[in-house]
Amino acid sequence: MGIVIENEFTVAAAPDDVYQLLTDVERVAPCIPGAEVLGRRDDGSYDAKATVKMGPMSLTYKGTAEITESDPVARTAVLKAKGADQKGQGTAQALMSMAVEPDGDGSRVKMSSDILVSGRVAQMGRGIMENVATRMIGEMAKALEATLQTGETVRAETPGMGAVLGSIFRRKDD
């Protein structure tokens, strides 16, 4: 199943600072719920692990992440990530394009994620995947802002399943 998820959020920090953090894989990983960098490879990519909760499932993917395109002047970049579920239950690939632009005294970040999954998680509906992604992006935005404001790495909170399921059921009622 391949889907494109569009998200945007604001951060109370200068666009150049936000862009610099977003393109530093080792610094931004803790800001993404469930993500962890395990080490840097000789080719500039990173060994990474991500744990994602989708409905009743919790999946841990192990693979690689790298910035494949970067334009500091335009403040745009592309991150490519791919991995296999550690229990052999499928694979995931993501191509995430991001753009940072001024927004008042802060920044607006626009993200487009093209996600391709196989295995058990592919059976989940698009709505559930979008809801989980939206919650994760929300937690990431909070952690990015806190990291930029404090100068210290702030780890994102993993959204609780009650909140994720609650938002899914609210969406169905709308």
Instruction: List per-residue pLDDT tens for the chain, 174 residues long.
Output: 478 888 898 999 999 999 999 999 999 999 888 899 999 999 999 999 988 877 677 888 999 999 999 999 999 999 999 999 988 888 989 899 999 999 999 999 999 988 888 887 777 767 777 787 778 888 888 888 888 888 888 888 765 443 443 443 443 443
What is the layout of strands, in order, in the sheet containing 57-71? 2-11, 106-117, 91-103, 76-85, 57-71, 46-54, 35-40
Whether the Cβ atoms of residue 111 and residue 28 lie closer than 8 Å to each other: no
Neighbours of 151 (CB within 10 A): 6
State the CATH class of domain 2-173.
alpha beta
Tell the residue number behind the tokens 């919790």, with chain if given: 58
- Does the predicted model carry a pTM greater than 0.95? no
| Residues 6+ away with beta carbon under 8 Å from 100 | 15, 18, 19, 22, 75, 76, 107, 108, 109
Neighbours of 10 (CB within 10 A): 14
**Cα-based angle 20, 23, 27 (whole degrees, multiple of 5):** 85
How do the domains of the chain map onto residue ranges?
A: 2-173
Q: In 3-state terms, what secondary structure has residue 93?
A: strand
Residue 17 exposed, middle or buried by CB count within 10 Å (0-12, 13-18, 19+): middle
